[in-house]
Structure 1
């Protein structure tokens, strides 16, 4: 079956997470992704462990399926010459080298356009191609701090906290995929490529969404609210008799139903609680009332009662519980995958559910240079050429 993007070839020069996550998404959708590393394998995440699956790091396995892997010494003139041959035959080049590296190698935007006028070049950096920080390296932890996310994560008691996954990298990978798909669509009309400048900081600032808007409109610097919501009450974590759960009341009708379930029928009629703006003003008093009732039953009991009443809620699942959840299982969010070294491994499935061109995991996360001979053969290199390149440590 033809996949949604099966006519697209992506040359992936990126490493670690933002770029590889982007190209995995594109690979899931059918693109031919060719991952380029230095001889021996230069994606640092191959060594980021434990845990390992027979020597293969779980971190690398999370973002590199549906790719072919080749090795090239891009510090050598001959290695760059081979890369240029691949660029001529590709649709997209994605890289996350330090600012200036591509230009030093003769692979800046102008040079890429001369090689292939239809090429789409996506550059991922910490801070983008302009501005006073453009030369600085970008790491997710630093971006979460600089981009304001840590200032609103956690509580006043805990102090600033980072999100438990490298969310700035993931957001950047998603924005990169969106930008690439937009450029491909535009190229269908113009028949011209273009460059995409994506930065981790821009992506993180964009993802502040309502918190950013609250500040820009009010001029008030937001505080850390822990598990509370700045614009909706009640919308937070509550303690039950045996643990914790979250309740997310999005409107006054749901609030009335919640109060009825909690046997507090007079509360919604009280002026200080009758509307969401009033509930925000009287947050502490209201939460004290609700918390006292919610402590009287278990998490499981409340989830059943609230679900039956149409009130959004949920338990605080551990990662183990997530992957045991029947809804997660039914959506195919865990996939068994055969790997030549690691054996049968489990990977997270794709959230993209396309009706006619479904996502398919066609390839395991590749070993370093696993497809070098195959790819070079496709662009005209003979077996003797490849042996010579190996002898010179170009591949």
Structure 2
């Protein structure tokens, strides 16, 4: 028994790499029985994410595939496709991230799988929405970042188009897929009917970027250019201190005036450039330039103590390494040292969010490829001889 609010929900995970596994891991963390279906060569991320002690479990794979069971099916074979159909018939949710044409060829479209199974929730993570001219184009995180405006925002800051140095689109859209699946599960509780969900990466990221940066082009006629000048100002970044950097953000009048007091410049409270939200927005470049050059005389820790006293939002600037050692993350046990059966000791990233009722009570380490094939097929009622025939072919 897994415990958690999604206990009893079976999810068939036909995704790979990052966007789909992010979504299904979230469901697994809160109790769903997630069956990860892999091809004989395994999920690409097992090796794409870098080396590991076994050579089969990259760090990135470990961080998006815990609490799942893995089975291997060679879907080029008729008997494996039949098994997959049986698994779909017993699932509450099926999650796929193939292109539309491939989905149809494999018989894994919402129409095909929901025929005779009206309670099934089918979630399709697509690169691009159906009905548009890009519908069947392939997509990865960087493709979506570049085409949705993320790279353009970075170009405005740095002069050169670039990609965010984390898989922003994959993680964002994966969590949106979770939201849509939970909405469908809630609707099913009320109506008894499942749903067909489409979650396109391009449209979701375009919506995010336009929310931030359509800006004055929102109005008709336009009142000015695109782009939020506060976000796109080059000095909107960590501020240098005597020994490093600090992250500070003062947006309300109260916070900004407290910031002026904290740095010993109370007269700026009445400076017409900075004495209101509207004034600071109109003079954002001058305000950020001033802020960027104001904190060099004290260390980061000294400023943190001062800003805490004045209730000014501020935190230390972290590197990847120092973030892993942050004492608050230790307090809340975000990082947990666990033993993996094939990789030895690893650091598991725990759940940032908490329900009073709790999450999954057991912990399943990220699975070795095909680790649960026999177990899952036996649950389908397949005879041992039939299982041996199917899995024996894979071992050759």
Tell me the TM-score normalised to structure 2 length. 0.92
CA distance 1:318–1:173, change in 2 (3 Å): same
Aligned residues: 391
* Higher deviation after alignment, 358-367 or 11-20: 358-367
| Match of residue 107 from structure 1 | 108
Contact 2:154 2:161 in 1 (8 A): yes
Contact 2:145 2:169 in 1 (8 A): yes
CA distance 1:155–1:302, change in 2 (3 Å): farther
CA distance 1:88–1:286, change in 2 (3 Å): closer
Matches within 5 A, 1:80-119: 80-119=81-120
Q: Distance in 1 between matches of 2:113 and 2:380?
A: 18
1:4 is paired with a residue whose SS is coil
| Match of residue 161 from structure 1 | 162
Matches within 5 A, 1:142-291: 142-153=143-154, 155-208=156-209, 210-212=211-213, 214-218=215-219, 219=222, 220-223=224-227, 228-229=230-231, 236-291=237-292
1:294 is paired with a residue whose SS is coil
Q: Deviations over 1:11-61 (max 9, x none)?
A: 0000000100100000000000000011242x1001124342332211211
Q: Distance in 2 between matches of 1:239 and 1:336?
A: 34
Contact 2:49 2:61 in 1 (8 A): no
* Higher deviation after alignment, 25-34 or 180-189: 180-189
Q: Distance in 1 between matches of 2:123 and 2:157?
A: 39
1:208 is paired with a residue whose SS is helix
State the shift of 1:391 in Å.
3.5
Contact 2:3 2:361 in 1 (8 A): no
Structure 2 runs not aligned, ≥5 long: none
| Match of residue 23 from structure 2 | 22
2:65 is paired with a residue whose SS is coil
Q: Deviations over 1:155-204 (max 9, x none)?
A: 54442332111010001110110111110110112111111001111221
Contact 1:79 1:394 in 2 (8 A): no
Q: Deviations over 1:312-340 (max 9, x none)?
A: 01221011111211111112211223221
What value does the CA root-mean-square deviation take over the aligned residues?
2.3
Contact 2:3 2:359 in 1 (8 A): no
1:94 is paired with a residue whose SS is strand
* Higher deviation after alignment, 149-158 or 359-368: 149-158
| Match of residue 328 from structure 2 | 327
| Match of residue 44 from structure 2 | 44
Q: Distance in 1 between matches of 2:50 and 2:385?
A: 39
CA distance 1:222–1:297, change in 2 (3 Å): farther
Contact 1:76 1:394 in 2 (8 A): no
* Higher deviation after alignment, 283-292 or 157-166: 283-292
Contact 2:19 2:171 in 1 (8 A): yes
Q: Distance in 2 between matches of 1:333 and 1:26?
A: 18
| Match of residue 136 from structure 2 | 135
Q: Distance in 1 between matches of 2:232 and 2:269?
A: 20
Q: Distance in 2 between matches of 1:49 and 1:17?
A: 10
Q: Distance in 2 between matches of 1:222 and 1:301?
A: 38
Tell me the TM-score normalised to structure 1 length. 0.92
| Match of residue 344 from structure 1 | 345
Q: Deviations over 1:96-118 (max 9, x none)?
A: 11222221123322221124221
1:197 is paired with a residue whose SS is strand
CA distance 1:235–1:259, change in 2 (3 Å): farther
CA distance 1:127–1:361, change in 2 (3 Å): farther
1:153 is paired with a residue whose SS is helix
Q: Distance in 1 between matches of 2:24 and 2:216?
A: 34
